[in-house]
Structure 1
């Protein structure tokens, strides 16, 4: 029950964060247009990729070692010194190649990239320690604080006439705020401050030598398509694509909350050699990995054009892209549970191979499809590559632990989503044929809210497993159904 409540708190926090970010992106898109939005996301994409060379899997290693419950401060300090050293080297390289970087982005942003790298690095290390200390719910609460602060500062700066500079300033303020607050919390929870030994560095690096590819895998899922699109299409199309991507990623939040909540628990149980409990947690994660994504796929396909119209009329050409990207996030929702479990049972070497397959397939497919099919090709490449890696992950984990895929519960989620889809489709037909509300945002919010109520109501009625989960995790007694 505690894990369920932690997941819900983390998910609710990230949901609020995404809503804030979604609203802010709409304002930014309407005020500055898709070209400026495209430049901003190219900067973020560059930071994401260069950040791999700064982190090198160290935050994941900090999370793993701290979660084991011994010498927490020593591992945190060891990891911090390593990533700061890598950051200094990367900053020098960015300054040396600033001309090339600025030409690619189409804006003089090399100094901004260094600043973004630093605040990202600080947030990643602090988040890793919080997660390792089993404070995933606190980590989740920081997400809307970061996004809300960033959004308020960005919009205020844009209205003040600072344009893209305002976007950069708001981003920095949001990340810096939660990094400082998180550091204050983790330091207070250390039992004692220890100077790291050579063994602490060795154990960190032994895990990081495999986990760094997980960082690349995460960046590849989010940013390979954007990075390659930057070479072949206009900034406006990049802006349209990232608007669709923001909606699709919105749906993966619950699966991400599950994996983040489960990892420290699985890691602790694995250290105690409690294999059956690890398996039980993994099967639970699989059961609910698509809880939001399955109805999201059906609803997003039906409402895709209207959702994108919120950003502006020119963004509606990304409707097909949105549907394909939601498929990609649905597959990713399940794949992430597999790789999280592999990492938790201290097999980052196997997770490394799974991630290598995804990255190779993603790069090859993006480079092959984008020149011909542009943004649709980018979305298709992401979906296909994550599907390939899911198959590899399934066979890799099944060779290490015994588990069963909860097909019955997943099937009930699909059934409830189909019922919801019928209701949403009927609502769209009635609005276009008879009611004609006229206000697109009102129509979208009404159908999304009503559709969600139908979905969860139907699932609650047909799934005793879901009813039990709900009853165990909220302080309300339901009558027998």
Structure 2
């Protein structure tokens, strides 16, 4: 995805690329009423191991009904949608929403059946299809419209694979199953709303007040920072069914220990990424995406701080939902989303689109603190503050060395940029290995998990 964004930013004008991100944002926002937390509720109930076929059938009826309502609303308001996007693509947006929601529904079903690892190639197929077809269509001169068609194709391929991978049959819908699903989803939809707001509301607000090139610049910076979540997101996906099972067995002590270990791994890359972004943000945007995107350099740094909070939140929030307390996650989400919706337009008008990044960062911090507070009331929670402090020490050491290297060897191109960023990773790893707390809790267990140094 990162390489694809860099490629398309070079082949499409920033204003056209902004249309793609606005389309992507509307697709994400439309998924809120098209799902209403049903997919997560299905994953939760399937992970508990009861009446799987009936649960899937009941959830599918609800899901298809919601998708139908959203489809009608989009078609009725297509004039406004087309005007906002600047292109006549509402029908394409309908296809995108329908296929995306059905694919995610079945991916949640597979995860709920404790087959999280199986969903990795399914998700990869979505991105591979989007990138490969997008490259072909953009190169053929179809512009941003070709990129949108490839997005729809990716969701279609994903839906087909996820449907065939799901081993749970579709059973007879039952009213008690519907009630069980709604009991979870009515709160979880608020958490889902928060996720969509954090991911796409920034883009939507910038699209309302600023030109499309600012949308693309902000989104490019956002996409760069997503690399940090390559550790925390997979951990969170694995934790949900695992903690759900532990919660069903009343193993609260084991849940607390699992969360503490997960937080240590989730934040391992987040702290040094902030230091690296502070040093290299202008160069990353200039040499990888183009000089037009350097205006988002400070946005990139601020969003990298936000990703530290999100790395913590990925683990904490999923744990709150997995112990069957989506109501608490909903309370945290309502408070933080409210702050974000108020601050984003105010700070945007005051200091420009960097204000949107500041608002999002503050709201993520608030969301994380509230989730920690709620989770600690039900699980013996031990946040690894000392370990994170050592990450800071190693990151500062890395930063000092990199500043010296950059002074001696200025960034003049992509090769030098990659060399220095890679060198930063090596330096951080070297510092981490020399610190016993990081070595014993993160490095050694991490290597053993991949069969290195464990005799496997």
TM-score, normalization by structure 2: 0.96
Q: Provide the rounded CA distance (Å) in 2 between the counterparts of 1:117 and 1:308.
A: 30
Q: Superposed, which structure 2 residues align to 1:95-174 within 5 Å?
A: 95-174=75-154
Which residue pairs with 1:12 in the alignment? none
Q: Provide the rounded CA distance (Å) in 1 between the counterparts of 2:92 and 2:274.
A: 36
Q: Provide the rounded CA distance (Å) in 2 between the counterparts of 1:235 and 1:477.
A: 50
Runs of 4+ in 1 over 4 A off after TM superposition: none
Change (3 A) 1:382 1:193: closer
Which residue pairs with 1:344 in the alignment? 322
Which residue pairs with 1:280 in the alignment? 257
> What displacement does 1:44 show?
0.9
Moved more, 301-310 or 455-464: 455-464
1:35 to 15, 21, 26: 15
> What displacement does 1:38 show?
0.4
User: Is contact 1:62–1:132 with CA below 8 Å preserved after alignment?
Assistant: yes
> What displacement does 1:471 show?
4.2
Moved more, 401-410 or 347-356: 401-410
Which residue pairs with 1:441 in the alignment? 414
1:55 to 32, 35, 38: 35
Change (3 A) 1:80 1:194: closer
Q: Provide the rounded CA distance (Å) in 2 between the counterparts of 1:251 and 1:386.
A: 15
Q: Provide the rounded CA distance (Å) in 2 between the counterparts of 1:106 and 1:222.
A: 21
Q: In structure 1, list runs of 5 or more residues that go unmatched.
A: 1-20
1:438-470, Cα deviation, whole Å (9 max, x unpaired): 3x2112211222211221232122122224313
2:345 to 367, 372, 396: 367
| Root mean square deviation of aligned Cα | 1.6
1:375-426, Cα deviation, whole Å (9 max, x unpaired): 1011011001111122222222222222221112111222222222223222
Q: Superposed, which structure 2 residues align to 1:50-89 within 5 Å?
A: 50-89=30-69
User: Is contact 1:232–1:374 with CA below 8 Å preserved after alignment?
Assistant: no
Q: Provide the rounded CA distance (Å) in 2 between the counterparts of 1:95 and 1:474.
A: 49
Q: Provide the rounded CA distance (Å) in 1 between the counterparts of 2:172 and 2:358.
A: 49
**1:476 matched to 2:456:** no
Q: Superposed, which structure 2 residues align to 1:282-431 within 5 Å?
A: 282-309=259-286, 310-431=288-409
Q: Provide the rounded CA distance (Å) in 1 between the counterparts of 2:179 and 2:161.
A: 29
Q: Provide the rounded CA distance (Å) in 2 between the counterparts of 1:343 and 1:45.
A: 25
Q: Provide the rounded CA distance (Å) in 2 between the counterparts of 1:456 and 1:184.
A: 41
User: Is contact 1:151–1:170 with CA below 8 Å preserved after alignment?
Assistant: yes
Q: Provide the rounded CA distance (Å) in 1 between the counterparts of 2:19 and 2:41.
A: 33
> What displacement does 1:241 show?
0.7
Aligned length: 451
Q: In structure 2, list runs of 5 or more residues that go unmatched.
A: none
TM-score, normalization by structure 1: 0.91
**1:183 matched to 2:159:** no
